[in-house]
Every structure is written in structure tokens, then in C-alpha cells.
């Protein structure tokens, strides 16, 4: 005959394990749902626009007439070339008192940039590993490499709105008007994904 205490203990353990599994699924689904609706930014360098999306494609806000780097845009960038880098980045720091009004600094150079630059002998092994280490530990990568740094999304500050509408004038950043950058700030946090295409 089966011992009632052993059966009761078995069921108690079974129910506990089942509850833990269900909670794990619920928390995992909640994290996935949050990732799907977390705002992210798309900078279209051909259209010169910035769009805020939630999830897979819901447009929250669209900003026309962004200015890019005076050197255009490209996947290969070097310090001083004035190019806006293409790729997927994240907001690594925020300076609310920048000379450009608000500055959302990106985690450039990223792993893809470092891979290409190391392969092409633009950066050395130590710089390459420093960039990779920063990416793995979710820190801001070194900003003083041959690839450049201080790339971000910012406002005009005291610069002329007329020049902004007529020229790509930044050193590789994405610029909006002061009113636009302040509006954008409501959706941007440390870690916000930014795709520049």
C-alpha cells in the first residue's frame, strides 16, 4: 500500500515545479512583450528622416529633415571623415546640457565596425579587444580610436535652422531641430536601439 505522506510530498513538489515553470514562462513572455513594444529609432539616411517605432512596425513619431554628417554616410568610418556610420547601435549616454541642446550618445564604434576595421588593419588588436569588451559588458566603447567617436543624435543648440534645412553639417552625427530633439527625448533611454540605414 502507498504511503499517503509520500504521495502528498510528491504532489507538493510537482505542483511547486509546475508553478515555477509557469512563472518562468509568464516572466519570459512579459520580457518579450516589452521588447516588442519598447521604442526604437530608425534613421533613414537616404530620406533624411528619423522615425520612432514601437515593436515590429508601429510608428509613434516621424521627424523629417534630419541633418547628417558632412561626409555623407557609410559603413566604413574613420575619425575626421564626417561620415554618419551605418549600422545598429544603442544609446550609451545622455547629455541634457550639451552645446547641441540634448545629446544622445551612441555606442559607436560597435562590434561590426571593429571587425571590419581590424580586418582592414585600421585598428590594432588592443583597440579591437577594448571595443569588444565594451560591447560584452554593455559599456561605452572607447571614443578615441582611429574610427572616431562622440557619434550621436542631437539638436541644433545655437546653430542656424536655415543651415540645418539646407546642408548636412555635422561631424557624423544625426541632427534635429531643438524642438524635435526635445520631443524625441520622451522615447529615448539608455539602451534605446538606433538603426541607421
> Are 149 and 182 members of one domain?
yes
pLDDT at residue 15 greater than cutoff 70: no
Domain match, 66 and 18 both: no
| HEC per residue, the chain | CCCHHHHHHHHHHHHHHHHHHHHHHHHHHHHHHHHHHCEEEEEECCCCEEEEEECCCEEEEEECCCECECCCEECCCCCCCCCEECEEEEEEEEEEEECCEEEEEECCCCHHHHHHHHHCCCCCHHHHHHHHHHHHCCCCCCCCECCECCCEEECCCCCCHHHHHHCCCECCCEECCHHHHHHHHHHCCCCCEEEEC
Q: What is the CATH number of the domain that holds 68?
A: 2.40.440.10
Position 18 scores a pLDDT of 44
Based on the fold, state whether residues 44 and 127 are members of the same structural domain. yes
Domain that holds residue 90: 39-196
Residue 4, pLDDT score:
60
Q: Are residues 52 and 31 in the same domain?
A: no
Q: Are 184 and 153 in contact (CB under 8 A)?
A: yes
Cell of residue 131, nine digits = 571595443
Contact assessment for residue 194 and residue 40, using Cβ atoms and an 8 Å cutoff = yes
* pLDDT, position 8: 57
Based on the domain organization, do 60 and 146 belong to the same domain?
yes
- Counted domains in the chain: 2
What is the tens place of the pLDDT at every residue in 20-40? 444 444 444 444 444 456 999
pLDDT score of 42: 98
pLDDT at site 7: 54
Query: Is there a single domain that holds both residue 110 and residue 50?
Result: yes
Q: Are residues 103 and 182 in the same domain?
A: yes
Render pLDDT for 56-101 as a digit per residue (tens, 0 to 9): 889 999 999 999 999 999 988 899 999 999 999 999 999 999 999 9
Write the pLDDT tens digit of every residue in 108-164: 999 999 999 999 999 999 999 999 999 999 999 999 999 999 999 999 998 888 888
Amino acid at each position: 500500500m502507498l504511503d499517503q505522506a509520500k504521495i502528498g510530498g510528491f504532489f507538493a513538489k510537482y505542483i511547486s515545479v509546475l508553478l515555477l515553470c509557469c512563472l518562468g514562462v509568464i516572466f519570459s513572455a512579459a520580457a518579450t512583450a516589452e521588447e516588442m513594444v519598447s521604442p526604437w529609432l530608425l534613421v533613414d539616411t537616404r530620406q533624411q528622416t528619423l522615425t520612432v517605432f514601437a515593436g515590429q512596425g508601429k510608428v509613434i513619431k516621424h521627424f523629417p529633415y534630419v541633418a547628417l554628417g558632412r561626409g555623407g554616410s557609410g559603413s566604413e568610418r574613420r575619425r575626421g571623415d564626417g561620415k554618419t556610420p551605418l549600422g545598429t547601435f544603442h544609446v550609451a549616454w545622455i547629455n541634457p546640457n550639451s552645446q547641441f541642446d540634448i545629446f544622445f550618445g551612441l555606442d559607436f564604434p560597435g562590434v561590426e565596425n571593429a571587425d571590419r576595421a581590424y580586418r582592414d588593419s585600421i585598428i590594432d588588436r588592443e583597440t579591437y579587444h577594448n571595443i569588444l569588451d565594451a560591447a560584452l559588458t554593455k559599456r561605452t566603447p572607447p571614443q578615441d580610436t582611429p574610427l572616431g567617436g562622440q557619434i550621436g543624435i542631437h539638436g541644433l543648440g545655437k546653430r542656424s535652422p536655415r543651415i540645418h534645412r539646407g546642408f548636412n553639417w555635422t561631424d557624423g552625427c544625426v541632427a534635429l531641430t531643438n524642438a524635435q530633439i526635445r520631443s524625441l527625448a520622451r522615447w529615448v533611454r539608455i539602451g534605446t536601439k538606433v538603426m541607421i540605414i
